[in-house]
Each structure stands twice: as structure tokens, then as C-alpha cells.
Structure 1
Amino acid sequence: MKRTDRDKELSHRTITRRGLILGGAQLAIAGTLVWRLRDMQLMQSEQFHLLAEENRINLRLLPPTRGLIFDRNGVLLAGNEQNYRVVIKRDDAGDIDLVLDRLSQLIHLSEDDLERARRDLLRHRPFVPVTVAERLSWEEISRVATNAPALPGVTPEMGLSRVYPLREDMAHVVGYVGPVSERDLEALDTPDPVLMIPRFQIGKSGVERAMEDRLRGTAGSQRVEVNAVGRVMRELDRAEGKPGSNLHMTIDARLQNYALQRMQGQSGAAVVMDTATGDILALASAPSFDGNLFVRGISSTDYNALLENEYRPLLNKTIQGMYPPGSTFKMVTALAALDAGETDGEERVFCPGHMDVAGNRFHCWRRGGHGRVGLVSALSESCDVYFYEMSQRCGIDRINAMSERLGLGIRYDLPIPSIAGGLNPTRDWKRRNRNAEWLVGDTVNASIGQGFVLSTPLQLAVMTARLATNKAILPRLLRDPMEQAQPQAASLDLRPEWLRMIRRGMHETVNHARGTAYSSRVVAEGQEMAGKTGTSQVFSITRAERDAGIRQQSDLPWNRRNHALFVNYAPVDAPRIAVAVVIEHGGGGSSAAAPIGRDITLAALNDGIPPLAAYPAPQRNRIRAEQIELEERLRDPQLLRISRA
């Protein structure tokens, strides 16, 4: 049908209107785009320029160089070594599994390594570099660098890692570092940003942990330009961090090595102190372990071996081991009685081999007794009954006060974590902790360092230094190599006549034929020592065991035998060092601890292997054989320079 003119006109109007609407919409959209383009190009150009730069430029934290640790003579105890490693960033890597698979074809990566890398990548932010492998060889790191285009997000780096050149010698004192854990971060209110770097290492034990803030330093920063796959093209800017402070310890590394080797095969501790300054020259806990194992990631096998060792190598026995001090405590009881005016030290007490107190019989170590003894002979022969009697006269309160005055029962402020405070028991302590009243028998036991009394080897060394000097010597482990004046200790104000008797008793312990440590005497002129043996009971032999034929300590299993102790200072006339030795389950102090104490003392005085002339003539052949065996194990050849003419 033919359309009319009117229909044609209506159709034309409709098309024109729709065209105008569509054209207007197009014009509006175009105008908006132009306006937005103008806004972005002119008004927001700086902002988008910065965003583009952020996509092209990465800002990275630079771990600071950890401070070094030296001994008193400048020997390196804790240092840093070059460490080639490979890191990966999740936001640049794309397919993580594919990249890790390619990487494992270039360097050895165990399943544990791969799993740890995946876990760390998911745990941290996408832009944080995660260490996949470290301590790589130059050949391995070169292969990774050569294949970088096929490894998006992967970067080979060279950093520093902690190393302990003296290995076992300093593990308990210096400690070791390890990767930051969640527990470490939770313990801090405001963690240093550098701690967020995966596998960043901080101090975990010893001085490394206690002095972490000084050793760590301050992180630096680096701006680098990267390409589309995250590969570093060039470094744009670098702000170096501040390295950690170096520390100088009072320890003598050679003496420390000697003490540990001298205790080889034993579970024990030895402490050597400078009596003038309180400097700790040796703090040896045996057996030890290699701190480098923890830095590199100790295996389950190695760690379980340390945990299951009955000699407890992970425990720092010098500061954490608490032992009944046994007869090394008798000087405390003697001075408490003198201070109380209960004896003049000259009166003689009869020892029949036991004393009956409150219906209980307390035995002397010599079953037949010592006869009539005064203070000096009671110390040198270690008569228990004499000190039982003195304790009944002066009481536990005065014994406790004198014990603290001599440095026992005190937690010393040293840069090592977990220092034990020992135990000076009081009436209130027993009431609070045992819900019982103090008994007379408790005082009797305490008088010879048994019962509730506990001390650490460090505390026993402090006590010995104070007896040798009449000064409140305090131990110290760090020193300033630039210091001019020696630290001065306050006086203990113990009467000289009292100390003369105590020191004479300790001198005769070692140098009198009836002294308990006579076989460990020193005959070299000017190097004689004064000391005191001690034996602390761990378990008593039961009647059933006696009936079964177990009569002496050597018949018991090792872990039920008595602890052996020895304390001494030397030289007698002008004391320079104080020594404390504890041999766990060693049996008797005179047989197990005193010979070790003598050798360590002579090594300290002679700055090396003791000369044979310092030993009694009948012992020299045996000592020489022991020294030959010892020389093969010593780390420092300088220890062998002493003549044995």
C-alpha cells in the first residue's frame, strides 16, 4: 500500500528526534571523556606519575650488619660471613609453583625447603622478599643469575650470616642467633620493621639475646628500578643503615677452651674470676654444643641428640645449674659464728663422728670422727660436727645473712638470660614454699651446705673472690677496652683476724698433709693456692641397696652419685684469681673437682699449659701424659708455648 505524505512526515520527525537524542548522548559521553582526560593529564598528572613510579621502583629494607663480639684479647667470638642466597617476591613471581619448580632444577631444594618457602610466601605480604635458599656456592648463585629471565620474582643476593669461629667454646656464653619467630614478635610492643624480613636473625640465647638491641643496628633502605617481571635493572638510591655495636667480653678465649677441654667427658662447670675487677675470665659449661648448628637450621636428629643427652649440653651450668654447695659452704657458717661472737675460732670442738640433734643423728663424713678440732683444722679436714655445733649456736638467720654478704643467693646482673638466683633458705621461705616451720635439723643441714641450700658455680666463685679480698666483688662479663680506671668494690668489713683463720683453713686444705685437697697442691713458688673441697649428696644409699651389696658411690648409677665441688683462690699471698668447679655426679670433691680446679688455676696463672714444675714430683709423669692428650684437643696453638723444663 502506498504511504501518504502525512505518514512520511511523521516518520521523518521520529528519526530526526532519535538522532538528536543519540547525538546528544554521544556528545555528552565524549565531553565527559575529554574532561576526564584533561583532569587526569593536567590536574592529577603528578599523582599518576607517582603511581607509575611505584610500579617501576621498589623500596627495600637493607638488614644492618650485626655487631661483632670479641674476647678480652681481641679474639673474635662472633662474626659475620658472606652468605649467597635466593629470594622471591610473590607479587612478581606469578605462578609460584612453576617458579619454584624451575628453581629446584638449578639448585638443590628439599621438600622441606619448598614447603617452608610456600608457607612464608603466603604468610607475608606479596611485596616482601622471602628467602628460599641460602649459603649457596658461587656456582649455584651464578646459575640462578644466568637464568633470571625464566625466574620472575626471583633475585640472587649476597648478605651476611652469623658465624662462631670457636664453635663449642662460646656457645653458652655468646649464645647464638636464629630466625625471628612469631613468639619473638609477640613479645615486643613495637617491633622493629627489619624484624619482618623473612628469616631475619636475632639473638636467641646468651649475650646475643641479652644485648640484641646493641648488636642488631639500624636498617638501611634501597630504591631499585625493576622491569615488568620484577627483575632488578638498576639501583637508584641507597641509604646505608647503622651497623650494630661491637662488644668486648671479659672472657679469655684460650682459658675458656682449656677449661672445657680439661672437663671433657664430664658434666660440669668451671668459673674463673679476676679478684681485683670481678672480670669473668672463663665461664665453661661441659659438655657444650656448636652454636653454628642453630644459625644454619639445626636438624631434628642433632637437636634430639642434644635434648636426650643425660649430661644436658644445652644447659649453661655455670649460671643456671643450682647445686647444694656442700662443704664449700662451711666458710659461711664459720664466719656467721665468729660474727655472732659464739666462738673465737681457737676453741676446740670434739668430733666423735656424729652429733645427735632433736632426736636425730647427723653423721660426719669420717665415721670414726676427727677428735678435737678448731676452726682451721675443721676447715682443712672438713669436719662436719664442728659446723653442726656452730650452727646451733648462731642459728639460721645469721647463717643466711652471712651467706648473702658473701655473694650467695644473689641473681647477678649479667648480660646473659636465665641467670639462677640460688637459694638462701629462711624461716619465711620454708613457711611460704613448704607450708612448714623451720626445724633445728634444717639449720644443721644448712651448716654444711646441704638441705635447702642451693648455689650456682658463679655464686661460689664470687664467694671465693670475696673471701680472698674482703671486698664485695661483683662479676662482670662486658668491658670497655678504652676504660682507664679499674672498677673498685666496696669493703665487706669482715674483721681481718676472722679472715686470717678462714684463709689459713683454706690454705691447709690444699697444703697440709691432712687437708682434703692435699693431693692437688701446687708446689711452684708464688703460685700456691688456698681452697675448699665439697661433696653434695644427691641420693643416699638405701638399706635395701646396702643389703644388695651397694656400699659406695661408685656402685651407684652415674645420675645418683654425689656432686663434686672445689673452690680456690691463688696465689695465696696476693690473690689474682678465684675459681669454682662443679662436677655433676663426680663423687668426691677432692678426687674429681680439685684436680681440675688446680689445672685451670695454673693455666690462668701461666697463661697456657701449666709447667710440670708446678706439680709435686711424684705426679709429673702422670700429669705429662694427661697434658699430651690434652694438647691434641686444644684449639689455640698459643696455649702450647709454655716451657716444661
Structure 2
Amino acid sequence: MKARDPALRLRRRFSRRALLVGAGQTGLFGLLAWRLRQLQIMESSEYRLLSDENRVNRQLTAPVRGAVYDRFGVAIAEDKENLRVMVIPAYCKNLAATLAAISSIVTVSASDRDRIKRTTRRQSRYLPILVTEGLSWQQFGLLNVLAPQFPGVRTDRASYRRYSNARSAVHVVGYVGMAGKGEVDEDPVMRVPGFRIGKTGIEKGFDRQLRGRAGSISYEVDAHGRIVRELGSVPSEPGKDVVLTLDHELQAFALDRLASQRRGSLVALDCITGEVLVMVSMPSFDPNEIAFKADAQKWKALATSPDEPLNNRAAAGLYPPGS
């Protein structure tokens, strides 16, 4: 009996170790099975979403901004078609040579070239970059005809803000411009490249109503970000129109009467309803010169002028009655 005791103790010790190892393996496989169930079933929707975000490139499209009308339905501010040319650096054999080639059709300034180079360094080379806008139909058509000769170049149709009776109503209607750092809000449309917001006047006061909602186009992309195919699109919602009580003909008449004055303002009200029929401030300026393809020199001249043409004297000035 004593001779068999060591063997018995060894078997018992081995059995305990096997039991512990088996229990550990069972627990480990149970943990793995639980984690697999969590990933495949409980959190599958979350990881499917992450996978789609890597596979799908969603690009926002800008909505058409609402129009501003006078009391008789005459458009004072509205969106017009804007023909543009874009470039995708990844598809260009030589970006500088491509820009030089298309400059024989459209104007590509030195500042535009520098901007394109800076943008290329900041973002993916597979994302389009605006070259220039405001093309004529002849330029737009020629670029499309010669598209095979310009790999990486594509045309695009967007919109820009156009002001009628511009000088007479600019201080009331205002103008649009690129959003500054402090003006960017949580609205997704603010992420649309080149999107403009209301900077002054009605354009600013009713900006939320006028801007509309952005649409989107979804593309399937490969691991390098190259577009494989279009998956679908959601149309944008145009902004709502705004109708003013102003009379555009009276506005033009009032501006003409003040033309001989260096500074001044004129306001006319409907004595029964209290509606503002005319609100003019002098000196005035053309908002089309700064709202679209803003000229830095013109903007500087307006901002530094001693006559303060950007100031709406009719609303911001303090004058004694009858002055």
C-alpha cells in the first residue's frame, strides 16, 4: 500500500492541475465567445456604421439661397448660375502644367495658383479644388470639349449672389460673404466649400431663413480615397424667400435725388401702415463687387474711406428731426 501511495498522490495532483487548466480554458473561451457575441450582434450596427464611413465619401451640396423681393415682387437679391472649373490633383500628371494649360481658356491668377498649391498640401489629393468661377458658357463648353486633354480637370455648376438695383438697396438688403472664424455655426451647410453667409442687412438678419438646407452626394471610395462610383444623393432644400416693404423704383429715385450729396440719408414711410417704403444712405456702393470674386483693393477702399460708405446712416446715424 505504501508503494502505491506516491503514484496515487501524483495522479490526484495531475487531476487537480488538469481541472484548473480546463476551467481556465473554459473561462477564456467563454470570455472570447461573449466578446464575439458583443461585436457581431450587440454592437454590429455601430461597427457597420464605422465601416461605411471608411468606405463611403459623403460630399455636401450647397442649397440655392432664398431671394429677396420688394413689395411688388421685383427681385433685389437672388442666386444666379455660377459656372466653375475644378481640379483634382491626384489625377493630374503635373498640376502646374495642367493649370498653365487651362489658363489659355480661363484666367488663373498667381494668387489662385498659390491657393491651389496650399490647399493641395492641406487635404487629400483626391478632393476637388476650385480653380476659378464665373465662367462664360463659351469657356465652360470649351473646357468640356477639351476635357480628355486635361486629366484631373472638371467643370461644375453652382450659384452666386446677384444684386439688382444694387446701389439703392445695399444698406437695407446687405450682402453675403465667406464666413469668418467667429461666424461658423453647427449648421452642416457651413462645411460646403465656398459657402457664403449674410454679412449685413436683411441678408444677415434673415440668414437662417435664406440659406436653406444642404444636400449630399455619396460616393463609394477605395482605400486611397479614390471615387469608385456614386451611391446616391439627397437633394438640397432651397432657402425661403423674403419680401420687403420697399419700393425699388422709389429707392432708385431717392438715390438719384441724393446723388449730389457727399453724405446723407433718406427714409420714407407709409403714414397709414408705418411700412418703410424707402431707406437710402449715401455714399453707396455696389455689393456685387465684394460679394462675388471680392476685389481686395475695392474692399480696402470701402473700409478705409472717410465717408464710410459701409455705414447705413439711415439706421445707425443720430440726427435731429427735420435735418
- Alignment TM-score, normalising by the size of structure 2: 0.74
Q: Shift of residue 142 of structure 1?
A: 2.4
Conserved in 1, the CA contact under 8 Å of 2:60 and 2:191? no
SS in structure 1 of the partner of residue 279 of structure 2: strand
Matches within 5 A, 1:54-93: 58-90=57-89, 92-93=91-92
Q: Please tell me whether residue 238 in structure 1 is matched to residue 233 in structure 2.
A: yes
Counterpart mapping for 1:242-641 below 5 A: 242-266=237-261, 267-323=263-319, 325=320, 328=321, 533=322, 565=323
1:413-467 deviation digits (Å, cap 9, x = unpaired): xxxxxxxxxxxxxxxxxxxxxxxxxxxxxxxxxxxxxxxxxxxxxxxxxxxxxxx
Match of 2:199 in 1: 204
The structure with higher relative contact order (CA 8 Å, sep 6+) is 2
Retained in 2: the 8 A contact 1:306–1:313? yes
One-letter code aligned to 2:171: H
Give unmatched runs, 5+ long, in structure 2: 1-39, 41-46
Following superposition, the deviation at residue 264 of structure 1 comes to 0.6
CA distance in 1, matches of 2:119, 2:176: 19
Identical amino acids, percent of aligned pairs: 35
2:61/2:192 contact within 8 Å kept: no
Tell me how far apart the structure 2 counterparts of residues 292 and 177 of structure 1 sit (CA, whole Å): 9
Distance 1:219 1:71, change over 3 A: same
AA at the equivalent of 1:205: T
Deviations along 1:98-144, whole A, 9 cap, x unmatched? 44333334422111121222234444555543321000112222232
Across the aligned residues of Structure 1 and Structure 2, the Cα RMSD in angstroms comes to: 3.3
State the 1:59 CA deviation: 3.1
Partner of 2:216: 221
Partner of 1:173: 172
Deviations 1:194-229 (A, max 9, x none): 2222221111111111211110000111235789x9
Tell me, yes or no, if the aligned pair for 1:87 and 1:155 is still in contact at 8 Å. Answer: yes
Contact 1:120 1:198 in 2 (8 A): no
Contact map agreement 2:215 2:237 (CA 8 A) in 1: yes
Give the Cα–Cα distance (whole angstroms) in 1 for the partners of residues 315 and 101 of structure 2. Answer: 50
Return closer, same or farther for 1:120/1:172 CA change in 2, 3 Å cut-off.
farther
- Counterpart AA for 1:107: V
Counterpart secondary structure, 1:118: helix
Cα distance in 1 for residues equivalent to 2:226 and 2:250: 51
Q: Answer yes or no: is the 8 Å Cα contact 2:99–2:108 preserved in 1.
A: no
Q: Distance in 2 between matches of 1:128 and 1:217?
A: 25
1:152–1:231 CA contact under 8 A, matched in 2: no
Displacement after TM superposition at 1:69 (Å): 0.6
Aligned to 1:138: 137
Distance 1:295 1:120 in 2: 22
User: Helix, strand or coil: the match of 2:255?
Assistant: helix
Question: What TM-score results when the alignment is normalised by the length of structure 1?
Answer: 0.39
- Rate the CA distance shift 1:75–1:126 in 2: closer, same or farther, 3 A: same
> The residue matched to 1:61 in structure 2 has which SS?
strand
The superposition leaves residues 481-519 of structure 1 with CA deviations (integer Å, 9 ceiling, x where unpaired) of xxxxxxxxxxxxxxxxxxxxxxxxxxxxxxxxxxxxxxx
1:167 deviates by 1.6
Q: 1:226 to 1:98 in 2, by over 3 A?
A: farther
Deviation at residue 314 of structure 1 after TM alignment: 1.4
| Kept in 2: contact 1:71–1:253 (CA 8 A) | yes
Residue 167 of structure 2 corresponds to residue 161 of structure 1: no
Q: Describe the shift of the 1:233–1:125 C-alpha distance in structure 2 as closer, same or farther (beyond 3 A).
A: closer
**SS of alignment partner, residue 84 of structure 2:** strand
- Seen in structure 2, the aligned counterparts of structure 1 residues 52 and 288 have a Cα distance that, compared at 3 Å, is closer
- The separation in 2 between residues aligned to 1:226 and 1:165, in whole angstroms, is 43
- Count of aligned pairs: 276
Q: Which moved more, 1:203-212 or 1:143-152?
A: 143-152
* Residue matched to 2:22: none
- On the 8 A contact 2:83/2:135 being kept in 1, the answer is yes
1:292–1:269 Cα change, 3 Å:
same
Per-residue deviation, residues 525-576 of structure 1 (Å, max 9, x unmatched) = xxxxxxxx4xxxxxxxxxxxxxxxxxxxxxxxxxxxxxxx1xxxxxxxxxxx
CA contact 2:217–2:234 (8 Å) conserved in 1: yes
Q: What do residues 211-266 of structure 1 show as CA deviations (whole Å, max 9, x unaligned)?
A: 11110000111235789x99989755221111101111111111111111111121
Q: In the superposition, relative to structure 1, how do residues 96 and 184 fare at CA in structure 2: closer, same or farther (>3 Å)?
A: farther
How many Å separate the matches in 2 of 1:184 and 1:121?
Answer: 25
In 1, distance between residues paired with 2:176 and 2:152? 28
Letter in 1 for 2:101: R
Which protein has the bigger strand share? 2
> Within 1, Cα distance between the matches of 2:250 and 2:284?
15
CA drift at 1:51: 7.5
What is the CA–CA distance in structure 2 between the aligned matches of 1:226 and 1:261, rounded to whole Å? 57
2 CA distance for matches of 1:272 and 1:124? 52
